[in-house]
Amino acid sequence: MENIAKAAACPTHVISTIRKISTILTVTVWLLSCKSGTNPVPEPMPEPEDVTLEVSASEYQFEADRQLAFTVSVKSNRPVTATSSQEWCTAEIVGGKTADNLKISVSENIRIDRRTATVTVTAEDSEKPATFTIKISQQGVRPILSIEEGAVYVTGERQEFTVRVAANFSPVAFVLPPWISLKSPDNPENGGIYTFVADGLPAAVELRKDSLTVKAANPDVTAAVSIPVVQTDVTSLNVMSYNIYLASGSLLNWSNRRDALLKFIRLADVDILGTQETEYTQHDFLKRNLTEYAAYGVGRNDGKTDGEHNTIFYKKGRFTEHGHGTFWLNQTPDAPGKGWDAGYPRIASWVILEDKLSGKRIFAVNTHIDHIGSEAQKNSIPLLMERISALHGDLPVVLTGDFNMPPSNGNIRYVTDASAGHYSLLHAKAIAETPAEGNVGTYHALTDADPGIGALIDFIFVDENIRVLRYAVSPPRFESQFLSDHSAVTAKIEIR
């Protein structure tokens, strides 16, 4: 007590005493705790968890011609990110933080070259991130190459001509006959318009034919297309009239004969072709597949696509069109509808064509006269002739068609009767300089025998400005096959 009193009297001693007592108590408590075992030794800190990353795909290939996307499964114990090495390929993480899906998308490849990209998936970690690489490849598109002109026609003089080339690649190269040279050496991106020069015909040569070929300049790209090049001092034209029998008819299957019809037309080397009973499916098929030809024709029921077309096909390399039209053989020729007692609406379609060789123009008309109504037949012919007279101006005229009447019929005689004072034409068969070839009749009704003059109902008429060099009726069959229940009529003509 005495010592405590002293300490109270001296603050320094009090503090020192308190510290000693505190130390003694602390040591005592520690010893007691060790003896009883109630305070275990502290455990060490756990080791960091390894980064895990699982990706379900390491490589993927895309088609070229469309935008596509696919999803890859990704599992990780860390947040995941993804990046792509190319702009055309995008990578996006969708889903949760540690169990994600990776969405990879590619845009359409418009070039023919295959392209590649790398997508890198990363599991984030401050010390050592985990990465996974996915290889992406996309095919190039199929090389496409075309020439707008179906053929080139030039006269015997030295002259320039142009060719329009379309391609989805560049550059292109040309393979030319020795008498043709490329004037414009520039090579536009993905084709373009090229100018060529054709040398003049040698003396005593009236005609020469060759081909102009365009191809890929890169030998690894397999694309080439050719067109014929014709140089001539002879300006004759091949004209054909052909009732091709409607596609919906039960006598002949259209799909079984359409390819043979293409071959028949090409082998005949027709410059101007008038077809009858041409339903829209046939009009469209021929127009798409006879790539060297342009076509004009409308449906007789609505002036658009419904019903028979009297289509006129013409070689677009040989001719330039300067107008076309259609009128109806009825009491209101400018509006669709049946005329008089006709079984169907009937039309006549026409085009004005300029021959690139001669520079001369021609008025081509194609029609199909009704087969039922006698009044319709009687009134359609004068209407047809009056309209041609009013429309052709001073241009030479070629009229093709199925008239459903033989030459002896008075309505057909009206067409060729110059003495009656009305506008008239000449039957190509009657004025041909070479005797007529083939059968006499044209409506053979799927028989091989010549049906005779009574079945001559398909005609080519011309005016006095046209010279007929040859006239012919084709055989009923082509390569052992009936293409129609009619035969084609052809005439080789020359504009005077």
CA-to-CA dists, residue 237 to 222, 285, 355, angstroms:
36, 24, 9
Give the span between the Cα atoms of 112 and 49, in whole angstroms.
Answer: 48
pLDDT along the chain (496 residues), means of 10: 43 46 49 54 63 84 75 86 92 74 86 88 83 90 86 90 88 94 74 91 89 92 91 90 97 97 96 98 96 95 97 94 98 97 98 93 98 97 98 97 97 94 96 93 96 97 96 97 98 93
What 3-state DSSP class applies to 196? strand
Is residue 171 reached through a cis peptide bond, with omega within 30 degrees of 0 on the bond before it?
yes
Contact at 8 Å (CB) between 474 and 255? no
Phi, psi (degrees; rounded to nearest 5) at 217: -70, -30
DSSP 419: G
Beta bridge partners of 314: 272, 294
- Which structure tokens are listed for 71? 């999803």
Specify burial of residue 354 (Cβ count, 10 A radius: 0-12, 13-18, 19+): middle
Q: What is the pLDDT of residue 33?
A: 53
Neighbour count for residue 419 (Cβ, 10 Å) = 6
What 3-state DSSP class applies to 206? coil
- Which structure tokens are listed for 218? 């890169």
* The model scores a pTM over 0.85: no
Q: Strand 293-296 vs strand 312-315: parallel, antiparallel, or unpaired?
A: antiparallel
Give the span between the Cα atoms of 489 and 169, in whole angstroms.
Answer: 44
Beta bridge partners of 118: 135
Contact at 8 Å (CB) between 446 and 485? yes
DSSP code string of 349-363: EEEEEEETTT--EEE
Specify burial of residue 43 (Cβ count, 10 A radius: 0-12, 13-18, 19+): exposed
Beta bridge partners of 294: 314
Contact at 8 Å (CB) between 269 and 429? no
Provide the H-helix boundaries in 319-456.
Answer: 374-391, 410-416, 428-431
Provide the H-helix boundaries in 295-335.
Answer: none
Q: What is the pLDDT of residue 50?
A: 79
